[in-house]
Amino acid sequence: KKRIRARADFMMCHSSYGTRMVLLTTLCLQSFAVRHEHESSLDAGTDNGCDANDVLCKIRSKMVHARFECQVGQGQAYKAFDESADNSFEACGLRCLSEPKCVAFDWNSDENSGHVYVTLNLTEIWVNDACRLFKPNRPRLGFSMWGRQYCNRLAPQLIKLSTTTTPLAATFSTTASLEEEEVPVIVPFVPPSTTEIPLVPPAPPPPIPEVVPVVHPPAPEGHNNCDALDERVRILKALLELHSIAIPKGSRGVRSFSQITGRCLEIIEKLQEVEDALDKIDSDGKGKILEALEDLKGNVQKQKKRLELQNQMDEMTNELMLDRGQLRAELRELQEEALKMMPAPKERLTMQQLFQKIDDFILEDPDLLSKFRAMNPCMPAALQGMQRRAFTPLLKIVLYVIISKPPWNFLQDNPWMTDEGLHLAIDEALAGKAAYVKGLSHGLAIPRLSEVKSQAYEEIVNVQTQVFNQTRGWIKPWNSGTTCNGDKKP
């Protein structure tokens, strides 16, 4: 399925630094290891990722290539009866050959390919779908946004095995005639002759050669302490950390921050391609249907053609929308993970400092100021329930804008986070979801938003703030006395 080719750059140093040599060799082997994605090929003469001496692998690869005919495309939407993470042609082909009802499969080399499946009890599970098996279906050929190939299963090619003595290689010949009939030759058993062999005394063993101690050359000038090797070890360690292999979804392991954000950028780009494709179908689809109907005569023919083209458009739209949902689900998970790993600012805001920033921001925005001042901090506490419910959506808006502007500039400085993703993160953090609460608190160096939400109403809808300060234009109800939020009680 995959192959690792490794080479090592061996360096000589004084024998007293053997430990460094072992470490350097190991790091070299790891740093130069590369993963080769399989490219589909029908050429049975290639080794298809097999080692030079792995005969069984070559035979298996040639057998799979001989049984399928492939082209760019994918199977009919929602018609796959089996999905798996086998992201190579050979692995997916062998899976199809093991299923009698499989007549075709499509595959891609993306190890993270998959989608979210909602069970009957509304539980979301991740399903890998790099390899999809199909019964008879209507494939969509000639185009695939995700690099899929659609492979039709061919009828098996019968091979005749001769009953006479032939070389082993001849038994794998695909050109043997099926019409010839050969009768096996029965040879009677003849016991071997038993002639006496004179005993000869064994030859004396060869003399043991004298062991000559190996003398290593002295270390080159300037390398007496293996400084160059230590520096190379440091560089290779940094390269390994920078180019570490991404862990597929659902497997155990640790992904680096750069890997996660890089994958986020790839998904954002793919989402834009999906949106563009949906817009194109929506804008050009009706026009193409009308063009196809111009040369037809008769209402019945036109109606049949219209329904056929409309069904094709609906299938393409449904497939793209399914892909969009899967990409958005993966992007949300990656953004949540990135929030917890992103480097935090040096200075951390206290709760009171955050409320002061919110107070200043509301005062500078006339629309928000009017909405907040529609609330009455002097209303009896028992009657403020409706105000509290209206306060939470306003708080979300304020937090989103504050985080997006200086000094954070969160969206501008972090292109892996989308506008939708930041809205979701704030909503989930205010709702108390632990992952987003910790992620935003760590990444922005602010108090936990679940705690901010519990105190924000009393701290902002309060006569001590600038929003509800009478010198700033707010008018206190004449009969409120000292019952307002923030009033000093007598």
Helix (H, G, I), strand (E, B) or coil at 270: helix
Do the Cβ atoms of 372 and 459 come closer than 8 Å?
no
Runs of H (alpha helix) within 217-364: 227-242, 257-293, 299-341, 351-364
Which phi-psi region, left, alpha or beta, contains residue 122 (left: φ > 0; alpha: ψ -120 to 50)?
Answer: left
Quick one: angle between helices 419-430 and 434-444, nearest 10? Answer: 110
Helix (H, G, I), strand (E, B) or coil at 68: strand
Do the Cβ atoms of 449 and 348 come closer than 8 Å?
no
Name the nearest CA neighbour of 450 among 372, 351, 371: 351
CA 83 to chain centre: 16
- For the CA atoms of the chain, what is the radius of gyration? 36
**End-to-end CA, the chain:** 79
Task: Identify the pLDDT of residue 132.
Answer: 94
Per-residue pLDDT of the chain (490 residues; tens, 9 = 90+): 333 333 333 333 443 445 455 455 544 544 443 333 333 333 333 445 566 666 667 777 787 888 899 999 999 888 899 999 999 998 999 999 989 899 999 999 888 888 877 766 667 788 889 999 999 998 988 877 788 999 999 877 554 444 444 443 443 344 333 344 444 444 444 444 444 445 556 666 666 555 455 454 554 554 445 566 666 666 665 665 554 444 344 433 467 888 888 899 999 999 999 899 888 888 888 788 888 888 787 788 888 888 888 888 888 888 889 889 989 999 998 988 888 888 877 788 899 999 999 999 998 888 989 989 889 888 888 888 889 898 999 999 999 998 888 777 888 888 999 999 999 999 999 998 888 888 888 888 889 999 999 999 999 999 889 999 877 888 888 777 777 888 876 5
Token representation of residue 297: 């005569």
Do the Cβ atoms of 63 and 138 come closer than 8 Å?
no
**Total residues found in the chain within this entry:** 490
DSSP-derived secondary structure for 380-414: -GGG-HHHHHHHHHHHHHHHHHHHHSTTT-HHHH-
Q: Which helix (H) or strand (E) holds 89?
A: helix 89-97
φ/ψ of 155, rounded to 5, equals -65, 145
Look at strands 124-128 and 114-118 and give their pairing.
Answer: antiparallel
Token representation of residue 263: 């994958």
The span from the CA of 428 to the CA of 441, in Å, is 13
The span from the CA of 260 to the CA of 272, in Å, is 19
Task: Identify the pLDDT of residue 409.
Answer: 84
Q: Which helix (H) or strand (E) holds 150?
A: strand 149-153
Token representation of residue 370: 């009017």
Helix (H, G, I), strand (E, B) or coil at 215: coil
Token representation of residue 210: 């004298």
Runs of H (alpha helix) within 132-247: 227-242
Task: Identify the pLDDT of residue 115.
Answer: 81
Residue 338 exposed, middle or buried by CB count within 10 Å (0-12, 13-18, 19+): buried
Task: Identify the pLDDT of residue 482.
Answer: 73
Residue 449 exposed, middle or buried by CB count within 10 Å (0-12, 13-18, 19+): buried
